[in-house]
Amino acid sequence: MSARTSRGRRPGAPDTRAEVLAAARASFAEKGFRGTTIRAVGAAAGVDPALVHHYFGSKDDLFLAALEMPVDPREVLAPVVAQGPDGAGERLLRTFLSVWDDPDMQVRLLAVVRSVLTDDGGTLLKEGFIPVVVGPVLAQLVADRPDVRIPLVTSQVVGLIVMRYVIAFPPMAQMPAEDLVARVGPVLQHYLTGDLP
């Protein structure tokens, strides 16, 4: 209640926001990322599409909100991108691990991963998360051929997530972050900018 008035929103707004988010979740789950529109989400929640924009911004932002991402990877990775492709493999991995190795964050990120991995057909990941979040960040770091390099980088990072966090395979889960950066960072760099056949 206090949050409602302190934010200066009209009475009932927090409920409307939750209803829009519920409608967005249902739509992303049923229709995938491409099949979801701001207009249809608004209609399902009984509000004007402009209000959906007002609360959540773009469809990409709405998608991240619906996934309940505890951080916006685009913001977290902005400093990595800003420093350019040299050494980006190690910086990318160091930043990634600093977020994922935080226990509170890890619990929340695992919930997101489980929901996208169990999504039938993987549309949330392949139409949503990778093109919306991963693609635009990595596109700024690859030397060329993003269609080749981005899936390769993503495959190694996804494999790390599964081994270190989802199943927590002991030798991988207990590997110090800096050892992992030193061992896998060069591989990511190779995929980003190396000489690929």
Q: Which of 118, 125, 161, 166 is nearest to 33 (CA)?
A: 125
* 103 touches its own copies by CB under 8 A: no
* 126 touches its own copies by CB under 8 A: yes
Tell me the site size for its own copies, rule CB under 8 A: 40
For its own copies, which is the closer residue by CB, 49 or 122?
A: 122
Q: Please tell me the distance from the alpha carbon of residue 93 to that of residue 171, in angstroms, as a whole number.
A: 18
* 53 touches its own copies by CB under 8 A: no
Residue span 177-196 as binding mask against its own copies, x where in contact by CB under 8 A, dash where not: --x--xxx-xx--xx----x
Residue span 106-125 as binding mask against its own copies, x where in contact by CB under 8 A, dash where not: -----------xx--xx--x
Given the structure tokens 């030397």, which residue do they identify? Answer: 143
* 5 touches its own copies by CB under 8 A: no
For its own copies, which is the closer residue by CB, 50 or 169?
A: 169
Q: Please tell me the distance from the alpha carbon of residue 37 to that of residue 33, in angstroms, as a whole number.
A: 8
Cα 28 to its chain centre, rounded Å, is 14
Min separation Cβ 155 and its own copies, Å: 4
Contact 74, 131 (CB under 8 A): no
* 166 touches its own copies by CB under 8 A: yes
Contacts by 38-45 with C-beta closer than 8 Å and gap 24+?
38/62, 45/16, 45/19, 45/20
The amino acid present at 193, given as its one-letter code, is T
Cα 127 to its chain centre, rounded Å, is 12
Q: Please tell me the distance from the alpha carbon of residue 68 to that of residue 96, in angstroms, as a whole number.
A: 18
Q: Applying CB under 8 A, which of residues 23, 93, 97, 160 lies at the interface with its own copies?
A: 160
For its own copies, which is the closer residue by CB, 19 or 90?
A: 90
Q: Which of 139, 114, 140, 137 is nearest to 125 (CA)?
A: 114
Q: Applying CB under 8 A, which of residues 152, 189, 192, 193 lies at the interface with its own copies?
A: 152
- Residues found near its own copies in the complex (CB under 8 A): 117-118, 121-122, 125-126, 130, 147-148, 150-152, 154-160, 162-164, 166-172, 175, 179, 182-184, 186-187, 190-191, 196-197
